[in-house]
Structures are given as structure tokens and as C-alpha cells.
Amino acid sequence: MKGSIEVIAGGMFSGKTEELLRRVRREVYAGKFVQLFKHALDDRYAVEHVVTHDQTALPCIPVQSSNDILTHMREETRVVGVDEANFFDEGLVDVVQALADRGLKVLLAGLDMDFRRVPFGPMPSLLAIADDVTKIRAVCITCGEMANYSYRCDGSDDVVHVGSTDAYEARCRSCYHMGTRICAVPPERRPSLTTSTSS
């Protein structure tokens, strides 16, 4: 089997994890032995299960580092899924390359940029070494255009913000620059930035 690397990149609320799980389920359906990993920001993170087409539960293994993926690898594994790839160390790039060189298919999903619009963790390198890249976008909460950015409304500046996603909004380029002053305004009362054409 020929190995490969597929990366699904996008902002928050863009559906990256759903797309990853869709691809994972397809591999399970094709009879491949799949292992799914997710970054554990802290060790309280519980194992979650992804329900596959035949109602079998595929465990999503929380790991703290890229090396932990290698530690958990099983002989029969043909496909590896990695969610929240942006939170991993740079070592993930070598791990992924090594797995693909061994003939495995590696599917990754992650945030391409943090809330400052800075490329996130190992994502730029993963995008570079990928055989296939899918960049998906969310919908801007303010104007409804395609949104590339995850805007942070709570004023905090930690890049890794453990906890709820409530502080984030999907915003397009124009609305990103409206800053925090529209954070408290409900989406339906925000100024529409959609260019009005003759109607």
C-alpha cells in the first residue's frame, strides 16, 4: 500500500473534525484498521468514541505528544487520523512523514491559524509535506460571507485557550478588522458588510 498524507485545515466552526471523521468512517467501511488520535491539552481528557457506519465505536485516543502516537501504533493499523493537529509539537511532522513512508494513510485536521491569524503550531509544515490539502471555511457570524479567521472576543491572549469555544467567532477578513467593538452586539444587529449591488 502506498502511503499518503491528507490535511484538512480551517478556522473554528468550519467543520474540520466532521470532515476528518467522514474520511475515517470511509476507511473503516473499506475494511481498513484505523487508529484515531487527538491532542490532549491536559490529562483529564477522556477517551471519546466515534461511531462508525456499522455502529461500532472507534476510540479517539488522547495523546500529549507526537511521540505518543508512535507508542500507541498497532501492527495492523493502515490509516491514522489526527484531530487538533495544531496543538501538537513540531515532532508531528516527522512522525507523519515516517508513517506515510511505511505505507500508512495519515489524515489530519487542525486550525491553520490561531486567533491572531498566525500559522498555528506544526500546521504550516504539515500543509507543506501533505499530498493533499483541503482548506475549508466557516461562515462569518457578522455578514455571512466565507470566514477564514477565528476571532477572539474575550480579550485574553493565550494562544492555547483551554475550555469553551464561546469566546471565538468565525469572521471574514473585513469583519476581523472590526475588532472587539462588535463582540457584544448580537449577530442580527451587526452592520452588514456585504457589498450591496443594484437590486
84 labelled catalytic: yes
Exactly one of 18, 48, 76, 84 is catalytic; name it: 84
Q: What is the helix (H) or strand (E) element at residue 150, kind and residue range?
A: strand 149-152
Q: How far is the CB of 127 from Zn ion (least distance, A)?
A: 24
- Count CB atoms within 10 A of the CB of residue 29: 11
* C-alpha–C-alpha distance, residues 65 and 39, integer Å: 7
Q: What is the helix (H) or strand (E) element at residue 11, kind and residue range?
A: none
Chain residues in the site for Zn ion (CB under 5 A): 140, 142-143, 145, 172, 175
In terms of CB distance, is 85 or 113 closer to Zn ion? Answer: 113
Provide the Cα torsion 59, 33, 39, 118; round to 10°.
-140
Q: How far is the CB of 111 from Zn ion (least distance, A)?
A: 19
Q: How far is the CB of 171 from Zn ion (least distance, A)?
A: 6
Q: How many helices (H) and strands (E) does the chain have?
A: 5, 11
In terms of CB distance, is 107 or 172 closer to Zn ion? Answer: 172
In terms of CB distance, is 70 or 146 closer to Zn ion? Answer: 146
Q: Which residues are catalytic?
A: 84
